[in-house]
């Protein structure tokens, strides 16, 4: 039976602390957990909150990481390759050995990269917790609208909207944004044992409302998370602003926080 917790917090920083608690609860239970890492701006407050936990003694050294996606055709040393971004925001701050972070190969033999990546994920035992953002057009990973719901890790063309949204990482110049990427497929993402989707800001409100309140469909790839048995969605009030039950979700977040912070008897 599907179970989805939707937690709405006042600010992105509050939301990040809750999302970080979801991650550290898992790592406390399973120090060698396999985590899937999204990039982009949505998870950055979460990664900062995890970095603070690492400074305060939480040990992430035994986790294994798998990136959700990578641009095709840009040098891995480019500051905006997802390998570079994850090295900067996750591997270093969390004290992981660099080889424990896997990133799809955006430069290698194109037919082989997707399969090799899936083999590496399987060899690691599969992903325990996949962190996801959401595109303004409803994409997850770089599975753009229209992607097959059972798709696997593969090369994809980025939607114009996505390239427009991501040009801020490339000096505001859309021509510098790669037009291809390699992404875990929707079917791949759904195989993670737990999903954690984070979204902040009004620009995500429409995509969040469609993803969480309409029937799962390829026109909004993020909507398929409703088919997964264990999902936590952590939003700030702006990203939640078009959800019909947003007040309930705020109350759920308060209950969740109270329960979690309650003294152990
Ligand atoms: C990136 C990824 C994408 C982003 C999405 C939102 O690894 O998987 O799905 O999560 O494009 O990006 P931001 O957070 O920058 O708005």
- pLDDT of 225-242, one tens digit each? 999 999 999 999 999 999
Looking up tokens 């939480």, which residue turns up?
58
> For residue 17, how far is its CA from the centre of ligand 1 (angstroms)?
19
Tell me if 44 CB under 6 Å of ligand 1: no
For the record, the structure tokens of 117 come out as: 């990546």
Query: What is the reported pLDDT for 110?
Result: 79
DSSP, collapsed to helix, strand or coil, labels residue 225 as helix
| Per-residue pLDDT tens over the stretch 134-184 | 999 999 999 999 999 999 999 999 999 999 999 999 999 999 999 999 999
Q: How far is CA 211 from CA 71, 130, 195, 207, 263, in A?
A: 24, 17, 14, 6, 35
What H or E segment, with its residue span, contains residue 210?
Answer: helix 205-213
Regarding the beta carbon of 221 and ligand 1, being less than 6 Å apart is answered no
Residue-wise pLDDT tens digits, 29-71: 999 999 999 999 999 999 999 999 999 999 999 999 999 999 9
Answer whether 200 contacts ligand 1 (Cβ < 6 A): no
Whether residue 131 is predicted with pLDDT greater than 80 in this model: the reply is yes
Q: What is the pLDDT of residue 230?
A: 97
Residues 142 and 50 sit within 8 Å (Cβ to Cβ): no
Ligand 1 atom with the smallest distance to the CA of 82 is 7
* C-alpha–C-alpha distance, residues 113 and 48, integer Å: 30
Residue 259 has pLDDT above 90, yes or no: no
Residue among 40, 68, 220, 238 whose CB has most ligand 1 atoms within 8 A, to mutate: 40
Residue 263 has what pLDDT?
A: 58
Q: Residue 2: what pLDDT?
A: 62
Distance 8 CA to ligand 1 centre (A): 19
Q: Which atom of ligand 1 is nearest to the CA of 44?
A: 14
Across the chain, mean pLDDT equals 95
**Percent of the chain's residues with pLDDT above 70:** 97
Residue the block writes with tokens 């790592």 = 27
Q: What is the CA radius of gyration of the chain?
A: 17
103-115 average pLDDT score: 88
Q: Which residue has the higher pLDDT, 261 or 144?
A: 144
Find the 122 Cα to ligand 1 centroid distance in Å: 24
Give the residue-averaged pLDDT of 245-259.
93
**252 alpha carbon to ligand 1 midpoint, in Å?**
25
* Ligand 1 atom, smallest distance to 38 CA: 7
- Distance from the alpha carbon of residue 185 to the mean position of ligand 1, in angstroms: 14
pLDDT given for residue 111 in this prediction: 76
- pLDDT-derived band of residue 76, with 50, 70 and 90 as boundaries? confident
Q: Going by DSSP bridges, is the β-strand pair 64-67/34-37 parallel, antiparallel, or unpaired? A: parallel
pLDDT of residue 265: 46
Q: Is the CB of 69 under 6 A from ligand 1?
A: yes
Q: Is the dihedral of CA 244, 135, 99, 54 positive or negative?
A: negative
Q: What is the pTM of this model?
A: 0.97
The reported pLDDT for the residue numbered 258 is 87
Q: What is the mean pLDDT of residues 62-90?
A: 96
**Ligand 1 center–CA 40 separation, angstroms:** 4
The residue whose CA has the least distance to atom 11 of ligand 1 is 135
Predicted confidence at residue 262, as pLDDT, reads 65
Percent of the chain with pLDDT over 90: 92
- pLDDT at 116 (0 to 100): 95
């Amino acid at each position: 039976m599907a179970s989805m917790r939707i937690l709405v917090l006042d600010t992105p920083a509050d939301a990040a602390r809750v999302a970080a608690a979801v991650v550290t609860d898992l790592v406390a239970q399973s120090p060698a957990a396999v985590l899937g890492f999204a990039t982009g701006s949505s998870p950055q407050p979460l990664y900062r909150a995890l970095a603070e936990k690492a400074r305060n003694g939480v040990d992430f050294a035994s986790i294994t990481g798998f990136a959700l996606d990578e641009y095709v055709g840009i040098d891995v040393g480019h500051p905006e390759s997802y390998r570079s971004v994850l090295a900067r925001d996750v591997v270093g701050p969390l004290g992981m050995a660099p080889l424990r972070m896997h990133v799809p190969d955006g430069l290698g033999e194109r037919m082989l990269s997707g399969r090799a990546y899936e083999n590496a994920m399987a060899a690691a035992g599969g992903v325990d917790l996949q962190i996801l953002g959401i595109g303004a057009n409803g994409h997850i990973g770089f599975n753009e609208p229209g992607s097959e719901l059972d798709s696997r890790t593969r090369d994809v063309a980025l939607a114009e909207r996505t390239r427009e949204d991501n040009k801020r990482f490339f000096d505001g110049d859309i021509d510098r944004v790669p037009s291809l990427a390699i992404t875990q497929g929707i079917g791949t993402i759904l195989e993670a044992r737990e999903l954690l989707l984070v979204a902040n800001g009004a620009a995500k409100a429409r995509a969040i409302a469609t993803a969480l309140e309409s029937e799962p469909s390829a026109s909004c790839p993020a909507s398929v998370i409703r088919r997964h048995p264990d999902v936590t969605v952590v939003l700030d009030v702006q990203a939640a602003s078009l959800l019909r039950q947003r007040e309930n979700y705020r109350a759920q977040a308060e209950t969740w926080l109270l329960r979690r912070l309650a003294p152990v008897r």
